[in-house]
Amino acid sequence: MPEIPDLNIFNKNLSKRLVGKTLDTITILVPRRLKVPESDLKEAFEGQQLVAIRREGKELHFSFKNGRVLGLHLMLHGTMFWYDKTNENKFTIVELLFSDGTGLAITDWQKAVIITLDPKPTKVPDAMDMPSGYLNTALKKISHPIKTVLTEGKIVRGIGNAYVDEILYEAKISPFSVANRIPEDKIAVLTKAIETVLTDAEDHIMQNFPDTITEKERDFLQVHRPKQTQTLAGEDILKAEINKRKTYYTESQILFE
Protein backbone atom coordinates (compact mmCIF):
# COMPACT_ATOMS: atom_id res chain seq x y z
CA MET A 1 0.00 0.00 0.00
CA PRO A 2 1.36 3.45 -0.87
CA GLU A 3 2.02 5.44 2.30
CA ILE A 4 3.09 9.00 3.04
CA PRO A 5 6.57 8.87 1.42
CA ASP A 6 5.18 7.31 -1.78
CA LEU A 7 2.14 9.56 -1.95
CA ASN A 8 4.16 12.72 -1.45
CA ILE A 9 6.27 11.81 -4.47
CA PHE A 10 3.19 10.84 -6.49
CA ASN A 11 1.59 14.15 -5.55
CA LYS A 12 4.58 16.18 -6.77
CA ASN A 13 4.76 14.33 -10.08
CA LEU A 14 1.03 14.37 -10.74
CA SER A 15 0.87 18.07 -9.92
CA LYS A 16 3.80 18.86 -12.20
CA ARG A 17 2.08 17.26 -15.16
CA LEU A 18 -1.64 17.84 -14.56
CA VAL A 19 -2.31 21.01 -12.57
CA GLY A 20 -3.63 23.76 -14.83
CA LYS A 21 -5.10 21.32 -17.34
CA THR A 22 -8.80 20.80 -18.01
CA LEU A 23 -10.37 17.40 -17.45
CA ASP A 24 -12.10 16.28 -20.63
CA THR A 25 -13.65 13.01 -19.46
CA ILE A 26 -13.78 10.80 -16.38
CA THR A 27 -14.73 7.18 -17.03
CA ILE A 28 -15.53 4.65 -14.31
CA LEU A 29 -14.88 1.13 -15.57
CA VAL A 30 -15.44 -0.62 -12.23
CA PRO A 31 -18.10 1.10 -10.07
CA ARG A 32 -17.91 -1.53 -7.32
CA ARG A 33 -16.87 0.87 -4.53
CA LEU A 34 -18.39 4.04 -5.96
CA LYS A 35 -20.91 5.65 -3.60
CA VAL A 36 -22.38 8.11 -6.12
CA PRO A 37 -23.54 7.64 -9.73
CA GLU A 38 -20.89 8.09 -12.41
CA SER A 39 -23.06 10.89 -13.80
CA ASP A 40 -22.46 12.91 -10.62
CA LEU A 41 -18.70 12.66 -11.16
CA LYS A 42 -19.03 13.70 -14.78
CA GLU A 43 -21.17 16.69 -13.86
CA ALA A 44 -18.73 17.75 -11.13
CA PHE A 45 -15.44 17.40 -13.00
CA GLU A 46 -15.73 17.25 -16.78
CA GLY A 47 -14.80 20.54 -18.41
CA GLN A 48 -13.21 21.81 -15.20
CA GLN A 49 -9.65 22.98 -14.69
CA LEU A 50 -7.55 21.07 -12.15
CA VAL A 51 -6.11 23.69 -9.79
CA ALA A 52 -4.34 21.61 -7.13
CA ILE A 53 -3.52 18.11 -5.90
CA ARG A 54 -2.77 17.48 -2.25
CA ARG A 55 -2.19 14.50 -0.03
CA GLU A 56 -4.60 13.92 2.85
CA GLY A 57 -3.45 11.00 4.98
CA LYS A 58 -3.41 8.02 2.62
CA GLU A 59 -5.55 9.78 0.01
CA LEU A 60 -4.86 12.11 -2.89
CA HIS A 61 -7.35 14.93 -3.40
CA PHE A 62 -7.73 16.49 -6.86
CA SER A 63 -9.21 20.00 -6.51
CA PHE A 64 -10.95 21.66 -9.45
CA LYS A 65 -11.68 25.30 -10.21
CA ASN A 66 -15.38 24.96 -9.40
CA GLY A 67 -14.53 23.92 -5.82
CA ARG A 68 -15.32 20.22 -6.28
CA VAL A 69 -12.81 17.60 -5.12
CA LEU A 70 -12.08 14.09 -6.39
CA GLY A 71 -10.72 11.83 -3.64
CA LEU A 72 -8.53 8.84 -4.46
CA HIS A 73 -7.53 6.06 -2.06
CA LEU A 74 -5.30 3.49 -3.76
CA MET A 75 -5.84 0.92 -1.01
CA LEU A 76 -3.50 -2.11 -1.06
CA HIS A 77 -2.87 -2.71 -4.75
CA GLY A 78 -4.03 0.44 -6.55
CA THR A 79 -1.57 1.72 -9.15
CA MET A 80 -1.47 4.75 -11.44
CA PHE A 81 -0.22 4.87 -15.02
CA TRP A 82 0.11 7.60 -17.62
CA TYR A 83 -1.38 7.04 -21.05
CA ASP A 84 -1.67 9.07 -24.24
CA LYS A 85 -5.27 9.43 -25.46
CA THR A 86 -5.99 5.68 -25.35
CA ASN A 87 -5.70 3.57 -22.18
CA GLU A 88 -4.56 -0.03 -22.58
CA ASN A 89 -3.77 -0.78 -18.93
CA LYS A 90 -5.36 -3.91 -17.47
CA PHE A 91 -7.61 -3.85 -14.39
CA THR A 92 -8.43 -0.16 -14.83
CA ILE A 93 -10.89 1.25 -12.29
CA VAL A 94 -11.08 4.84 -13.53
CA GLU A 95 -9.69 6.87 -16.42
CA LEU A 96 -9.00 10.61 -16.27
CA LEU A 97 -8.44 12.06 -19.74
CA PHE A 98 -7.39 15.69 -19.99
CA SER A 99 -8.07 17.99 -22.92
CA ASP A 100 -4.48 17.86 -24.21
CA GLY A 101 -4.64 14.05 -24.51
CA THR A 102 -2.82 13.30 -21.26
CA GLY A 103 -4.45 10.36 -19.52
CA LEU A 104 -4.20 8.93 -16.02
CA ALA A 105 -5.36 5.35 -15.43
CA ILE A 106 -5.97 4.06 -11.90
CA THR A 107 -5.82 0.27 -11.81
CA ASP A 108 -6.39 -2.40 -9.18
CA TRP A 109 -6.69 -6.13 -9.77
CA GLN A 110 -8.47 -6.41 -6.40
CA LYS A 111 -11.01 -3.73 -7.43
CA ALA A 112 -10.62 -2.07 -4.04
CA VAL A 113 -9.60 1.47 -5.10
CA ILE A 114 -11.94 4.08 -3.63
CA ILE A 115 -13.06 7.16 -5.58
CA THR A 116 -15.01 9.78 -3.63
CA LEU A 117 -16.81 12.99 -4.52
CA ASP A 118 -16.01 15.91 -2.19
CA PRO A 119 -14.38 13.92 0.66
CA LYS A 120 -15.44 15.10 4.11
CA PRO A 121 -12.77 16.88 6.18
CA THR A 122 -11.44 15.22 9.32
CA LYS A 123 -10.00 16.51 12.58
CA VAL A 124 -7.53 13.63 12.85
CA PRO A 125 -4.05 15.10 12.27
CA ASP A 126 -1.71 13.91 9.56
CA ALA A 127 1.37 12.05 10.75
CA MET A 128 3.57 14.80 9.33
CA ASP A 129 1.58 17.62 10.90
CA MET A 130 0.82 16.66 14.50
CA PRO A 131 0.57 19.43 17.11
CA SER A 132 3.35 19.54 19.72
CA GLY A 133 2.76 16.96 22.45
CA TYR A 134 -0.25 15.53 20.60
CA LEU A 135 0.59 11.84 21.05
CA ASN A 136 1.21 12.28 24.79
CA THR A 137 -2.42 13.28 25.23
CA ALA A 138 -3.94 11.09 22.53
CA LEU A 139 -2.49 7.81 23.79
CA LYS A 140 -3.38 8.18 27.48
CA LYS A 141 -6.76 6.41 27.34
CA ILE A 142 -5.94 3.83 24.66
CA SER A 143 -5.17 0.27 25.75
CA HIS A 144 -4.63 -1.25 22.30
CA PRO A 145 -1.27 -2.28 20.78
CA ILE A 146 0.63 0.77 19.57
CA LYS A 147 0.94 -0.67 16.06
CA THR A 148 -2.84 -0.87 15.74
CA VAL A 149 -3.29 2.63 17.13
CA LEU A 150 -0.86 4.18 14.67
CA THR A 151 -2.33 2.46 11.59
CA GLU A 152 -6.10 2.49 12.10
CA GLY A 153 -6.45 6.20 11.24
CA LYS A 154 -8.41 7.30 14.32
CA ILE A 155 -5.50 8.98 16.13
CA VAL A 156 -3.16 9.84 13.27
CA ARG A 157 -3.49 9.62 9.48
CA GLY A 158 -1.13 8.38 6.81
CA ILE A 159 0.84 5.59 8.48
CA GLY A 160 0.46 2.09 7.04
CA ASN A 161 1.69 -1.39 7.78
CA ALA A 162 5.20 -1.08 6.36
CA TYR A 163 6.26 2.25 7.79
CA VAL A 164 4.73 1.65 11.21
CA ASP A 165 7.16 -1.25 11.63
CA GLU A 166 10.00 1.05 10.58
CA ILE A 167 8.89 3.79 12.97
CA LEU A 168 8.60 1.45 15.95
CA TYR A 169 11.97 -0.09 15.13
CA GLU A 170 13.55 3.37 14.97
CA ALA A 171 11.96 4.27 18.33
CA LYS A 172 12.92 0.88 19.81
CA ILE A 173 9.32 0.25 20.93
CA SER A 174 7.72 -3.18 20.57
CA PRO A 175 4.67 -3.18 18.26
CA PHE A 176 2.86 -5.14 21.00
CA SER A 177 3.30 -2.32 23.54
CA VAL A 178 0.06 -1.07 25.08
CA ALA A 179 -0.36 2.52 23.94
CA ASN A 180 -1.13 4.05 27.34
CA ARG A 181 1.74 2.18 28.99
CA ILE A 182 4.41 3.87 26.92
CA PRO A 183 6.20 6.47 29.08
CA GLU A 184 6.19 10.10 27.99
CA ASP A 185 9.89 10.19 27.22
CA LYS A 186 9.47 7.26 24.82
CA ILE A 187 6.44 8.91 23.21
CA ALA A 188 8.70 11.86 22.45
CA VAL A 189 11.14 9.43 20.83
CA LEU A 190 8.25 7.87 18.89
CA THR A 191 7.07 11.26 17.65
CA LYS A 192 10.56 12.07 16.41
CA ALA A 193 10.85 8.63 14.78
CA ILE A 194 7.67 9.23 12.78
CA GLU A 195 9.14 12.37 11.24
CA THR A 196 12.60 10.89 10.70
CA VAL A 197 11.51 7.62 9.10
CA LEU A 198 8.93 9.15 6.76
CA THR A 199 11.19 12.02 5.70
CA ASP A 200 14.20 9.76 5.07
CA ALA A 201 12.07 7.34 3.04
CA GLU A 202 10.70 10.15 0.90
CA ASP A 203 14.23 11.42 0.28
CA HIS A 204 15.33 7.93 -0.77
CA ILE A 205 12.44 7.49 -3.19
CA MET A 206 12.95 10.96 -4.66
CA GLN A 207 16.65 10.28 -5.21
CA ASN A 208 16.13 6.88 -6.83
CA PHE A 209 12.73 7.24 -8.54
CA PRO A 210 12.20 10.98 -9.00
CA ASP A 211 9.46 10.72 -11.64
CA THR A 212 7.45 7.81 -10.26
CA ILE A 213 3.69 7.65 -9.77
CA THR A 214 3.80 3.95 -8.88
CA GLU A 215 5.05 2.26 -5.73
CA LYS A 216 8.66 1.11 -6.01
CA GLU A 217 11.00 -1.26 -4.18
CA ARG A 218 11.41 -0.98 -0.45
CA ASP A 219 14.72 -2.77 -0.09
CA PHE A 220 16.00 0.22 1.86
CA LEU A 221 13.63 -0.47 4.77
CA GLN A 222 15.34 -1.60 7.97
CA VAL A 223 12.98 -4.17 9.51
CA HIS A 224 9.83 -4.49 7.38
CA ARG A 225 11.57 -7.00 5.10
CA PRO A 226 9.17 -9.89 4.34
CA LYS A 227 11.73 -11.87 2.31
CA GLN A 228 14.67 -11.37 4.68
CA THR A 229 15.60 -12.82 8.07
CA GLN A 230 17.78 -9.96 9.29
CA THR A 231 17.61 -6.19 9.46
CA LEU A 232 20.10 -4.11 7.52
CA ALA A 233 21.99 -3.82 10.81
CA GLY A 234 22.19 -7.61 11.13
CA GLU A 235 19.54 -8.20 13.82
CA ASP A 236 17.23 -11.20 13.57
CA ILE A 237 13.77 -10.21 12.35
CA LEU A 238 10.85 -11.57 14.36
CA LYS A 239 7.53 -12.06 12.60
CA ALA A 240 4.00 -12.03 14.01
CA GLU A 241 0.46 -10.83 13.32
CA ILE A 242 -1.21 -7.97 15.13
CA ASN A 243 -4.87 -7.42 14.31
CA LYS A 244 -4.39 -9.45 11.09
CA ARG A 245 -1.43 -7.31 10.00
CA LYS A 246 1.90 -8.95 9.31
CA THR A 247 4.41 -7.44 11.69
CA TYR A 248 8.21 -7.36 11.64
CA TYR A 249 10.26 -6.36 14.69
CA THR A 250 13.33 -7.28 16.77
CA GLU A 251 14.17 -8.27 20.34
CA SER A 252 15.81 -4.87 20.86
CA GLN A 253 12.40 -3.19 20.83
CA ILE A 254 11.10 -2.63 24.37
CA LEU A 255 7.70 -3.99 25.37
CA PHE A 256 5.56 -1.71 27.55
CA GLU A 257 2.55 -3.49 29.07
pLDDT digits (tens, 9 = 90+) for 121-163: 999 999 999 999 999 999 998 999 999 999 999 999 999 999 9
Which letter does DSSP use for residue 255 in this model? P
How far apart, in whole angstroms, are the C-alpha atoms of residue 51 and residue 65? 6
CATH architecture of 4-117: Alpha-Beta Barrel (3.20)
Side-chain half-sphere CA neighbours of 171 within 13 A: 31
Asked if the model's pLDDT at residue 7 lies above 90, the reply is yes
pLDDT digits (tens, 9 = 90+) for 22-42: 999 999 999 989 999 999 999
Mean pLDDT of 154-178: 97
State residue 182's pLDDT score.
97
Asked if the model's pLDDT at residue 1 lies above 90, the reply is no
Spatial strand order of the sheet with 23-28 comes to: 23-28, 92-98, 102-107, 79-84
Q: What would the DSSP string read from start to end of 106-173?
A: EE-TT---EEEESPPP--SPBTTSPPTTHHHHHTTT--SBHHHHHHSSSSSBS--HHHHHHHHHHHTB
pLDDT digits (tens, 9 = 90+) for 179-226: 999 999 999 999 999 999 999 999 999 999 999 999 878 899 999 999
For the chain, give every residue range classified as CATH 1.10.8.50: 134-249
State residue 216's pLDDT score.
79
CATH number of 134-249: 1.10.8.50
Under the banding of pLDDT at 50, 70 and 90, the label for residue 69 is very high
Distances (CA, A) of 114 to 23, 28, 61, 134, 154: 19, 11, 12, 29, 19
Mean pLDDT of 78-94: 96
pLDDT digits (tens, 9 = 90+) for 95-105: 999 999 999 99
Entry pTM? 0.93
For the chain, give every residue range classified as CATH 3.20.190.10: 4-117
State residue 150's pLDDT score.
97
State residue 217's pLDDT score.
80
237 by DSSP, 3-state: which?
A: coil
